[in-house]
Structure 1
């Protein structure tokens, strides 16, 4: 019993030591590089910093994307747009995904190694309490849906996912699959701003906004769906309860897509 307590005590001391050293290093970086930190809250400064790096631009962008996932307040959507604008739709997605993958892999590894005390230093109690049920989740489909749908804070969920028993390699794989469609759309939009005809950009933005709005409007349904074990039955029951509103929403989406398609065929302005 004494050896067990001693082992636990040593483990706690090791965790505390690692956290203290990490905080000290982070504080030192912030102190010495504070003149450059504004790029993480100012998209235009971020873009100019990448351009000024010249041939090193992709490396700077990838590092910026890693920091965005780990600590920075600049939304991932903004870096996705910047990537598409500067590097084109293909390389923009590649560089964005490389940076994001490295970032959330670091989160998974550190969270798995140091557990909840580590997570509590990055995630507020409000979000931990709200998504605590996910730490008991063993199925990968739940996290795939969370990373795919726009109604969840996926950077925060990465910390939660790291506390599960799901293999880290599996978490990395489903994170890539779930985030990829969103980054593709953002990169296409960002690249679209380099052309004279902005209609395809507006069409994509409007469609993306419609999908996001519907997901946000029904976020309570999505949260309940994630929590349920019998998800197919839940979908069927919700459709029976609200079939009319669901039908109207789908019809509205179809009409909006048709109108936007017709709009995109008109002469550019």
Structure 2
């Protein structure tokens, strides 16, 4: 049995275990449904309360939710990032959010490598994947880094798409890790300084706009570099 077959079996086993727990254990289904509902409603205050109920296990649960939202698009990650910073402070909150996001991205990459394009197309949609293909064709080895910096680019699709290329895991891992840092730090800092009475939607929007301006400036530099390279 080769490495790819082992990966497929492991992913399938974990998926079956999760599905089994969801349908056979009412408490698991209740918690998953509640967390999903909070994410869909972008309820940061509700997510903070939800995580706090797990006590010392809250960091583990928050990272598990980051992995879950990475695999189950389109759930917004910033809800968890804000809540983590609100509970744990921006430094530790950023560590938990970044770690969970990295695990989720890695799993998406591995799943794509193991199962191939036909399966990924069914998961994320053919048109979305083709659009991402064009992005990868344009930016080449810088694609993952640029995509992570742009808050408007879906996190999971980039991870899956990267797994369908010849890119190696560690190249993908470091590009994701570095590209994900600005968003994690900005949202975490805003999250820690958000009071319980604050209109957190405005804080989330502020973080998004700050990150968008910074990321577009960086993207512009990459575009200029690409134009310069093409004229050499």
Give TM class, smaller chain: 0.7 to 0.9
Deviation at 1:144, TM superposition (A): 0.6
In 2: Cα distance, 1:141 partner to 1:132 partner:
13
Runs (4 or more) in structure 1 with deviation over 6 Å come to: 12-20, 201-204, 213-216
2:226 match: 231
Alignment check: 8 A CA contact 2:183 2:211 kept: no
In 2: Cα distance, 1:35 partner to 1:206 partner:
32
- Structure 1: 5+ residue runs without aligned partners? 1-11, 237-269
Give 1:249-260 correspondences, 5 Å limit. Answer: none
In 2: Cα distance, 1:20 partner to 1:171 partner:
23
Aligned residues: 218
In 2: Cα distance, 1:204 partner to 1:57 partner:
22
- Structure 2: 5+ residue runs without aligned partners? none
Higher RCO (Cα < 8 Å, 6 or more apart): 2
3-state SS of the aligned residue for 2:89? Answer: helix
Alignment check: 8 A CA contact 1:134 1:161 kept: no
| 1:175 and 2:176 aligned | yes
Q: Deviations over 1:62-102 (max 9, x none)?
A: 11111121126430111111111111010010000111111
| 1:39 and 2:35 aligned | yes
Give 1:124-203 correspondences, 5 Å limit. Answer: 124-134=125-135, 139-194=140-195
Give 1:95-110 correspondences, 5 Å limit. Answer: 95-110=96-111
Alignment check: 8 A CA contact 1:41 1:74 kept: no
In 2: Cα distance, 1:41 partner to 1:204 partner:
18
2:209 match: 209
Q: Structure 1 residues 66, 14: CA separation in 2 closer, same or farther (over 3 Å shift)?
A: closer
In 2: Cα distance, 1:209 partner to 1:93 partner:
19
3-state SS of the aligned residue for 1:122? Answer: helix
TM-score, normalised to structure 2, is 0.75
81-90 or 132-141, larger mean C-alpha shift: 132-141
Which one has a bigger Cα radius of gyration?
1
In 2: Cα distance, 1:171 partner to 1:158 partner:
8
Give 1:58-69 correspondences, 5 Å limit. Answer: 58-69=59-70
Alignment check: 8 A CA contact 2:47 2:79 kept: no
In 1: Cα distance, 2:121 partner to 2:7 partner:
13
In 1: Cα distance, 2:168 partner to 2:9 partner:
26
